[in-house]
Amino acid sequence: MVLSLAPPLAATAPVASAQRRERAPIPAMVRGLRNAAGYAGVERDRIAAELSAAMRAIDATSASDGCKAIARRRVEAIAAAVTESPDRAASRAWEAARRAVASAGECRASDEAPSEALIALEVAVWLGVVSNGASAEVMVQDPGPRALFVRGAALLASSQWELARARFEAGRAVVGDADPVLSADLVRGVGEAHLGAMRDAEGVRAIEDAASRATSAADAGWRALVDAQVALGIAHAHARRFADALAAYDRALSVAQSRLGAGDPWVADLVGRRAVALGELERVDDAIIANQSALAIRERALGPGHPDALVSRSNIAMMLQRRGDLAGALAMHQQILDTRTRVLGASDPSVAVTLDAIAFIERTAGRHAEAEALLRRAISIRERSLPPGHPDRGRSHRALAPVLVALGRMDEAVQLAERGVLLTIEAVGPDHPDVATAWSTMLQVAQAVGRDELAQRAQREIARVRAISRR
């Protein structure tokens, strides 16, 4: 599940005058980014500039000195995280920096200063680098509802649904209705935990409640409202209710554009989500136009080599492929592969995603040997770069099995399909819809090789998982 885990935010404060910008020092932690070892992603100087601008924006706010100090600590924690894990954290540095700036405006002078452990965990959530929320959150001793929100978000990011829901509900019990924005965020977290645990109806109800609470908070709740609408859109898309997902994304986009302007990277994220829904509704031309809009925003704001810009390019290529323009899609995917390899490194997981896409086109064109070679490269990358239990580790196995059938290597195809099922169950549990997808591959392979008993088992598992998903 893709998560929006921002705390309630206000619009980014304006940066001070040009004279002040020139005088503002670059913190040592930010300067250190330029020497981050092994970093092959977004330009270090760009990140250093983003974090330096965040420091200046914090200084320009009307927040108390204590609140400014807390926000600066967040920026320093972002710099430390990017320096320590640059290939993982760098792509979301701009977003984390914006959240740090906004936190100064939301802070109250009476708020208790967060611990270093809480700030580190909060920043890890913002950057998307939490691997085990249960291990990380035990280091946080802060008892307040904001800490419980951050702890729940970390657990949510590592798919620990029931623990996450417990933290969000505990925070909700503490905050009550005294802070409607934080209350909305906590209720949204409860909803996302329900969705992760396959309780679709409960999740949608909670997220709709979160949207209502954010709306009642008026101007202060705009960010929580956007987050709730995005979560609602994700829930509808997960249930394949793409028209409802598109409506939720449109509501989020309207609010975000009115607050941030049409050229903000967060707006590009929403336009990209909208494009996915349009594609699923077979409005392919509209989806291409939306993806092109998201790409233009990202290239202007973040640079043409930024991972987010490459995602937009990849989405355009996918839509060209769906429209039947295999030659155009292949050419674009090859360009993306070259850029991702050069900018992010040959072992980045996003390189495996592009290899999968190219392999699909090669398979469609009947070039099965070429497809096999690409998918084996993707498997190797994922085994090296992704931790055990990651949901993407079985993706290339599932794609390779039918290719091996086409090449006449039946026993090997069955083994790959079985491995794909096992890796998917390891990642998401036996009842997740992705498991039905893995069993569908097994069914296809089993039928092709004449394994009737295995095919019947696959059919039973597909029916079982889909029945759970419909509840």
Q: How confident is the model over 145-187, as pLDDT tens digits?
A: 989 999 999 998 888 899 999 999 999 999 988 889 999 999 9
Q: Tokens 């590592």 map to which residue?
A: 158
- Regarding whether 88 and 22 lie in a shared domain, the answer is yes
- Regarding whether 359 and 306 lie in a shared domain, the answer is no
Number of helices (H) and strands (E) in the chain: give both, helices first: 24, 0
- Regarding whether 124 and 12 lie in a shared domain, the answer is yes
- Regarding whether 93 and 114 lie in a shared domain, the answer is yes
Q: Tokens 């979560």 map to which residue?
A: 231
Tell me whether residue 139 is in a domain.
Answer: no
Q: What is the mean pLDDT of the chain?
A: 85
- Regarding whether 368 and 444 lie in a shared domain, the answer is yes
First to last CA, the chain: 19
pLDDT > 90: percent of the chain: 56
Tell me whether residue 144 is in a domain.
Answer: no
Say which amino acid occupies 243.
A
Domain count, the chain: 4
Of 260, 293, 324, which residue is a domain's last? Answer: 260
- Regarding whether 307 and 202 lie in a shared domain, the answer is no
- Regarding whether 374 and 433 lie in a shared domain, the answer is yes
- Regarding whether 359 and 339 lie in a shared domain, the answer is no
Tell me whether residue 136 is in a domain.
Answer: no
pLDDT at 11 > cutoff 70: no
pLDDT at 354 > cutoff 90: yes
Q: What is the pLDDT of residue 103?
A: 87
- Regarding whether 269 and 248 lie in a shared domain, the answer is no
Q: Which of 220-224, 417-421, 448-452 has the lowest mean pLDDT?
A: 220-224
- Regarding whether 301 and 243 lie in a shared domain, the answer is no
188-241 confidence digits (pLDDT tens): 999 999 998 888 899 999 999 999 999 988 888 898 999 999 999 999 998 889
Of 345, 364, 382, which residue is a domain's last? Answer: 345
Tell me whether residue 147 is in a domain.
Answer: no
* Cβ atoms 167, 152 nearer than 8 A: yes
Tell me whether residue 90 is in a domain.
Answer: yes
Query: What distance in Å separates the CA atoms of residue 103 and residue 120, rounded to the nearest whole number?
Result: 14
Of 285, 319, 345, which residue is a domain's last? Answer: 345
Q: For position 288, which CATH number holds?
A: 1.25.40.10
239-281 confidence digits (pLDDT tens): 889 999 999 999 999 999 999 899 999 999 999 999 999 999 9
What is the DSSP code string of 22-37?
HHPPPPHHHHGGGG-T
- Regarding whether 326 and 310 lie in a shared domain, the answer is yes
- Regarding whether 431 and 329 lie in a shared domain, the answer is no
Full domain range(s) for residue 269: 262-345
Query: What distance in Å separates the CA atoms of residue 222 and residue 181, rounded to the nearest whole number?
Result: 9
Tell me whether residue 104 is in a domain.
Answer: yes
